[in-house]
Amino acid sequence: AQVFERRRDFLHNVSTTLIKNHDFVAAEELRSKNMLKNHALAMSIADVGWRTFLGMLAYKAELYHRQFLTVNPKNTTQACHECGFVMGTAGTEKLILADREWTCPKCHAHHDRDHNAAQNILTKGIIKLA
């Protein structure tokens, strides 16, 4: 129980910092723990739960008058943020977890996997907000 509480406290700190420092935060509705690069965050979310974390973000957004919303996680990893090409289509292989960086076969943009996914999530969030 002590570990659980420590991890919940940690998620409280992370969610407060995220909301306080940004006017707008978008997150995926569901995110598996092995997609999280930050080890402490991954462990805490495995324990406490992604939904609980999203709940913290939602009520803190209200508290601090920020915008927070969740988006459908479909293709956020596989789609190129520059041109929209989706890996796994047109005869290409889907990206796997080990692919930390990749180059889009269509527009040749070079991506950090997580940064590209984050940009897709933000774009989806902005579209949903409009």
Give the H or E element holding residue 50. Answer: helix 50-63
Stretch binding Zn ion (CB under 5 A), from 1-9, 12-20, 40-48, 98-106: 98-106
47 sits near Zn ion (criterion: CB under 5 A): no
Q: What is the 8-class DSSP label of residue 86?
A: B
For the chain, what is the radius of gyration of the CA atoms? 16
87 sits near Zn ion (criterion: CB under 5 A): no
d(CA 105, CA 86): 10
Torsions phi, psi for 92 (to 5 deg)? -90, 160
Stretch binding Zn ion (CB under 5 A), from 17-25, 50-58, 102-110, 113-121: 102-110
Q: Considering only residues 30, 40, 63, 83, which one is a binding residue for Zn ion as defined by CB under 5 A?
A: 83
107 sits near Zn ion (criterion: CB under 5 A): yes
102 sits near Zn ion (criterion: CB under 5 A): no
